[in-house]
Amino acid sequence: MMTDRARIGVIGMAVMGQNLARNIASRNIGVAVYNRTTEKMTSFVEEHGDEGPIIGAETIEELLDVVERPRTLLLMITAGAGTDAVIDDLTGRLDDGDIIIDGGNAHFEDTRRRERDLADRGLRFLGAGISGGEEGALHGPSIMPGGTAEAYGEVGDLLETIAAQVDGTPCCTYLGPDGAGHYTKMVHNGIEYADMQLIAESYDLLRHGAGLSTDELADVFAEWNSGDLESFLIDITADILGTQDPRTGEPMVDVILDEASQKGTGRWTAQLALELGVPSTAITEAVYARVVSSRKAERRDASSILSGPTPGGGIACDGLVDDVRAALYAAKIIAYAQGFEQLAAASAEYGWDLDLGDIATIWRGGCIIRAKFLDRIKQAFDADADLDNLLLADYFRDGVAEGQAAWRRVVGAAVDHGIAVPALTSALSYYDGVRRERLPANLIQAQRDYFGAHTYRRTDDDGSYHLRWIADGGEEPRD
Ligand code: 6PG
């Protein structure tokens, strides 16, 4: 379709950039596209130019010429130094009030810095996490924008139009200033890591612990997807488990190397959780599990040296499938509770005033962690916007209470049979930790005071004290 003006320019024609441009054009919104290697842009326009009002730009000047003022430019390039280079190149050529949207997985501190620097130059910046992979980008992703509020006022309608819609509500809303959008996307990815690890542990238990075939497992996951666990990740897992290798006819999962990669967003979530003092244990264990998986050569050597039970299909199958389902569900609640707690802590730390109910709302569709129970999370925050921990909401409290006996059996069976289930186990330990009024930290305080005079507080009196543990056993008050 011919057009000579564009509402928005997309810079970067890798698959996410291409599919977002097609998504925009499919709504009859003019979109100009540019890629550093021109060939990629021209072949895109040849292939998809008739899908809507798309203009190919061979140079940045051409792009800036055809985009309506104030210009809106969406960067869809690999996060990192490349983003700074493109922004630097753009800034000298842009006019006051133009808007740059970074749709990559940027670190939120980079987004904060970029928003500040661009504001100094009269430009407006949005850091917008975009989730949903290739299909989401094409048909409707979940979009998590943060940055200059009045810039959102101008482009929000466009972003909300191209986003996934659930019950008529767009999976996109303004989240807060500077890095709020990219932080939210990062925690989304952290939860994605935990969710994937919990599913992988469940698969491991049933496949290698209980000896179910991949075909049986495909049916189990498909059935789980019709209940509380209904979600994109459970759905694709059923599909993956039912897929055969086109070369050998073996189950596809059996021929895929057991080394997981990572690009960094899960690790950032864990690092930042530590800095905030939030126990995002399920996410962190999922990151470590990927690290252990990536040490294939070491594991191969160690497998014949280190002793212990070897998973060999010996876990009794009776009731195990239901137990694993309950354990997976309970642990998933913990992972989300921890992720939302981290968002609340980051919001307080950076002054973002994040609305956790809004975040649950825009995660209901389009994104990788979309799941039926996000409706419940939204309801929990609607009922109490200051909810300290999702676990304290009736629905989730009851969900974990119902599943916990099965969860304990599953963790016990995994330990007995030598199957590593770090996410299932750490989530259970977190649960047992937060629900106990008294933990063994009294002993830790005593040790700290013993070797370093770090002081302790008493259960029966106010103030801080030091005990002269070795000298005469006397106690002295300390400030
Ligand atoms: C999404 C995904 C997307 C990407 C991940 C993969 O929300 O659409 O999370 O952002 O696939 O970054 O992350 P890893 O490579 O670290 O697994």
Q: What are the tens digits of pLDDT across the range 127-145?
A: 999 999 999 999 999 999 9
d(CA 114, CA 118): 6
Expressed in angstroms and rounded, the spacing between residue 442 Cα and the centre of ligand 1 is 41
Element housing 338 (H / E):
helix 320-350
Looking at the DSSP bridge assignments, the partners of residue 144 are 129
User: For residue 342, which phi and psi values (nearest 5 degrees)?
Assistant: -65, -40
The confidence band for 2, taking pLDDT boundaries of 50, 70 and 90, is low
d(CA 464, CA 473): 16
User: What are the percentages of helix, strand and coil residues in the chain, rounded to 5?
Assistant: 55, 10, 35
The confidence band for 304, taking pLDDT boundaries of 50, 70 and 90, is very high
Q: Tell me, using a 6 A CB cutoff, whether residue 189 lines ligand 1.
A: yes
Residue pLDDT, tens place only, 145-166: 999 999 999 999 999 999 999 9
Expressed in angstroms and rounded, the spacing between residue 189 Cα and the centre of ligand 1 is 6
The confidence band for 1, taking pLDDT boundaries of 50, 70 and 90, is low
The confidence band for 107, taking pLDDT boundaries of 50, 70 and 90, is very high
d(CA 166, CA 179): 25
Between helices 265-276 and 320-350, what is the axis angle to 10°? 60
Return the residue whose CA atom lies nearest to atom 2 of ligand 1: 131
Expressed in angstroms and rounded, the spacing between residue 131 Cα and the centre of ligand 1 is 8
Its sign, for the CA torsion 130, 89, 96, 177, is positive
Cβ atoms < 10 Å from Cβ of 337:
27
d(CA 286, CA 228): 22
CA 381 to the chain's CA centroid: 19
Catalytic residue among 185, 201, 285, 378: 185
Q: pTM above the 0.95 mark?
A: yes
Per-residue pLDDT at 317: 85
Per-residue pLDDT at 394: 96
> Which DSSP string do the residues of 142-189 spell out, in sequence order?
EEEEEE-HHHHHHHHHHHHHHS-EETTEESB----STTHHHHHHHHHH
Diameter of the chain measured on Cα atoms: 91
Element housing 465 (H / E):
strand 464-467
Expressed in angstroms and rounded, the spacing between residue 187 Cα and the centre of ligand 1 is 11
Atom of ligand 1 nearest to the CA of 265: 16
Q: Tell me, using a 6 A CB cutoff, whether residue 142 lines ligand 1.
A: no
185 is catalytic: yes
d(CA 203, CA 214): 9
Looking at the DSSP bridge assignments, the partners of residue 308 are none
- As a whole number, mean pLDDT of residues 378-386 equals 95
Most ligand 1 atoms within 8 A of CB, residue of 15, 105, 187, 191 to mutate? 105
In the chain the domains, ranked by start, together with CATH numbers, are 8-178 (3.40.50.720), 185-434 (1.10.1040.10), 441-477 (1.20.5.320)
Q: Tell me, using a 6 A CB cutoff, whether residue 286 lines ligand 1.
A: no
Q: The tokens of 413 are what?
A: 């069976």
CA torsion angle for 72, 75, 81, 85 (degrees, to 10)?
A: -50
Q: Tell me, using a 6 A CB cutoff, whether residue 49 lines ligand 1.
A: no
Expressed in angstroms and rounded, the spacing between residue 196 Cα and the centre of ligand 1 is 11
Q: Tell me, using a 6 A CB cutoff, whether residue 192 lines ligand 1.
A: yes
Expressed in angstroms and rounded, the spacing between residue 129 Cα and the centre of ligand 1 is 11
User: For residue 231, which phi and psi values (nearest 5 degrees)?
Assistant: -170, 165
Q: Tell me, using a 6 A CB cutoff, whether residue 132 lines ligand 1.
A: yes
Return the residue whose CA atom lies nearest to atom 14 of ligand 1: 262
Q: Tell me, using a 6 A CB cutoff, whether residue 262 lines ligand 1.
A: yes
Catalytic residue among 115, 160, 192, 285: 192
437 is catalytic: no
**How much of the chain exceeds pLDDT 90, in percent?**
97
**Contacts for 168 with CB less than 8 Å, ≥ 6 apart:** none
Q: Are 131 and 142 in contact (CB under 8 A)?
A: yes
Which 8-state DSSP code applies to residue 251? Answer: B
Q: Are 429 and 348 in contact (CB under 8 A)?
A: no
